[in-house]
Amino acid sequence: MDGNRRFVQFPHPGPEHKPDRSGGKGWNTLRHNHARKFMEFDGRWTEEDGSAGSGSLRAWGEWEAESELIRELIRPGQDSQYPRYLWRPFYAPKKNYRLLHNTDPFIFGERLLYSNCKQVSLPSLTRLERGSVIAFGSSMKIEGEWKWALDTVLVVADSLMYAASEARQVLADTTSEVFLAVTGGPIMAREKASFRLYFGATPEDPVEGMYSYFPAMPAQGDAGFPRPLIDLPRKYLNPSSRQSPKGVRSNRTSEELREIWNSLVAQTIEAGLVLGTHAALPERR
């Protein structure tokens, strides 16, 4: 994969999940689009000064399995960019995952993971080299202008190819049982292609000083936050992009990638947030 160090702007749907009639949230099915959840879980983070913290965290992310509604939140000034619901993620294994969405990227566990989304239609996504940076987020129109809202940054540390039909066998030694159910289950039930699983760099095992993170805040009261709005030069990021990832064929130097990553971090910190680096695995119920 020499020469494939890239910065990828990866758009995914930005709307917030709403509770089911039961008050909780069942596993999201293919009848509905992917969406984001504002969640609370135990985790670790990096502060503005570089110090590490641990405890209860809140963050936006993808989690298409079940969730318990902790509480409904008050949006300051009815600002729709703030979350309305606070969720505690969990999962219940299924006999058949065929009609269920998978969770990708997967922010839970010791390393952030990106495993399959859009890789069939864009094979270049299976050829990203160590040190590549993927920014997952959503395009939103705010006060008449398109803005890019960030929810996950994955810095590629390592990767491996796997066939969908053999995901459980191939990935059992390198991923959690939660990942194999929540992400691997739907992949094995529906897909026939091969994919590349990317393992994110961590503060303990960075790549040229860079590591994966998700914008977060320590849990407190009814507080929530809007996803940070990111501004980068147009050659790197298109704020109105809602479908196709940008940058999958554009090689970047190590200096460019560090500069982009530093800007993402700075803009996350400027939004009053911390860098979430670890999220505890949701429980099985």
pLDDT average per 10 residues of sequence, the chain (285 residues): 85 97 96 98 97 98 98 91 98 98 98 98 97 98 95 98 97 98 98 98 98 97 96 97 94 97 98 98 98
3-state helix, strand, coil in the chain (%, to 5): 15, 35, 45
What's the token pair of residue 198?
């990317």
pLDDT at 105: 98
What's the token pair of residue 132?
């590549």
pLDDT at 1: 45
* pTM, full prediction: 0.97
- Cβ contact 239:146 at 8 Å: yes
Q: Is 174 exposed, middle or buried (0-12, 13-18, 19+ CB in 10 A)?
A: middle
The DSSP bridge partners found for residue 60 are 38
Containing 259, the helix (H) or strand (E) segment is helix 254-270
pLDDT at 248: 96
pLDDT at 3: 76
